[in-house]
Structure 1
Amino acid sequence: MPLLLIGCGTDEPGPQARPAMWLVTDGDTRIYLLGTMHALPRGTDWNEGKVAAATRAADELVMELSPAELAAAGEIFQKLAPRTAPLAIEKRLSGAALAGYRALEDSGSGFDGEKLDDWAVMVLMGQRVARNADLSPADGVETGLTEDFKAAGKPIDGLETAQAQLMLFETLDAPTQRALLTRAAKGSPDAARKVSALTAAWGRGDIAALEKVINDDVDAVPSARKAIITDRNRRWSAWVQKRMERPGTVLMAVGAGHLVGTDGVPAMLDAAGIKVTRVQ
Structure 2
Amino acid sequence: MWLVTDDDTKIYLLGTMHALPPGTDWDGGAVGQAIAAADELMMELSPQQAGAAGRIFRELATRAAPLPIEARLSGKPLARFRAFEASGGKLDADQLDDWAIVILIGQRAARDADLSPAAGVERALTDKFRAAGKPIRGLESARGQLMLFENLDARTQRTLLTRAAVGANEAVDDVTKLTAVWSRGDVAAMEQMVNDDVDAVPAARLAIVTDRNRRWAAWVKRRMAEPGTVMMAVGAGHLLGVDGVPAILEADGMRVTRVQ
Residue of structure 2 equivalent to 1:8? none
1:226 aligns with 2:226: no
Q: Match of 2:238?
A: 258
Letter in 1 for 2:164: A
Query: Is contact 1:36-1:254 (8 Å) kept?
Result: yes
Match of 1:175 among 155, 161, 166: 155
In the TM superposition, what is the alpha-carbon distance from 1:153 to its structure 2 partner? 0.5
Map of 1:115 onto structure 2: 95
Structure-2 separation of matches of 1:279 and 1:147:
23
2 CA distance for matches of 1:83 and 1:96? 25
Asked if the contact 1:63–1:158 (Cα under 8 Å) also holds between the matched residues in 2, the reply is yes
Q: How does 1:76-225 map to 2 (within 5 A)?
A: 76-225=56-205
- Note the C-alpha offset of 1:83: 1.0
Deviation (angstroms), 1:41: 1.0
Q: Which stretch shows the higher mean deviation, 99-108 or 239-248?
A: 99-108
TM-score of the pair, normalised by structure 1: 0.92
Write the letter of the residue equivalent to 1:186.
Answer: V
The SS at the match of 1:40 is coil
Which residue of the other structure, out of 56, 65, 72, is the alignment partner of 2:52? 72
Q: 1:55, 1:251 within 8 Å by CA — same for their partners in 2?
A: yes
Bigger share in helix: 2
The more displaced of 60-69 and 99-108 is 99-108
Question: What is the CA–CA distance in structure 2 between the aligned matches of 1:206 and 1:157, rounded to whole Å?
Answer: 28
CA distance, structure 2, for counterparts of residue 231 and residue 203 of structure 1: 26
Residues of 2 paired with 1:186 and 1:213: CA distance? 17
Residue identity in the other structure for 2:62: P
1:45 aligns with 2:25: yes
Task: Give secondary structure in 1 for the equivalent of 2:14.
Answer: strand
Count of residue pairs brought into register by the alignment: 260
Answer yes or no: is the 8 Å Cα contact 1:129–1:191 preserved in 2. yes
Where 1:52 maps in the other structure, the secondary structure is helix
Q: Which amino acid aligns with 1:66?
A: S
Displacement, 1:101? 1.2
Cα distance in 2 between the residues matched to 1:119 and 1:98: 16
Matched letter for residue 188 of structure 2 = A
**Deviation digits for residues 37-94 of structure 1 (CA, Å, limit 9, x no counterpart):** 0001111011111111000000000000000000000110111001121110011011
CA distance in 2, matches of 1:122, 1:31: 33
The percent identity for this pair of structures is 67
Does the residue aligned with 1:105 lie in a helix, a strand or coil? helix
Task: Tell me the C-alpha RMSD between the 2 structures.
Answer: 0.7
Aligned mates of 2:96, 2:18 — CA distance in 1: 24
CA distance in 1, matches of 2:204, 2:190: 18
Deviation at 1:127, TM superposition (A): 0.3
- Give the partner amino acid of 1:169: F
Q: Which amino acid aligns with 1:56?
A: A
CA contact (8 A) 1:133 1:193 kept: yes
- So what's the TM-score if we normalise by structure 2? 0.99
Cα distance between partner residues in 2 of 1:59 and 1:114: 46
Deviation, structure 1 residue 109: 2.9
CA displacement at 1:266 relative to structure 2: 0.3
CA distance in 1, matches of 2:111, 2:89: 12
Q: Distance in 2 between matches of 1:131 and 1:104?
A: 13
Amino acid at match of 1:146: T
| Residue 238 of structure 1, aligned match among 190, 206, 218 | 218
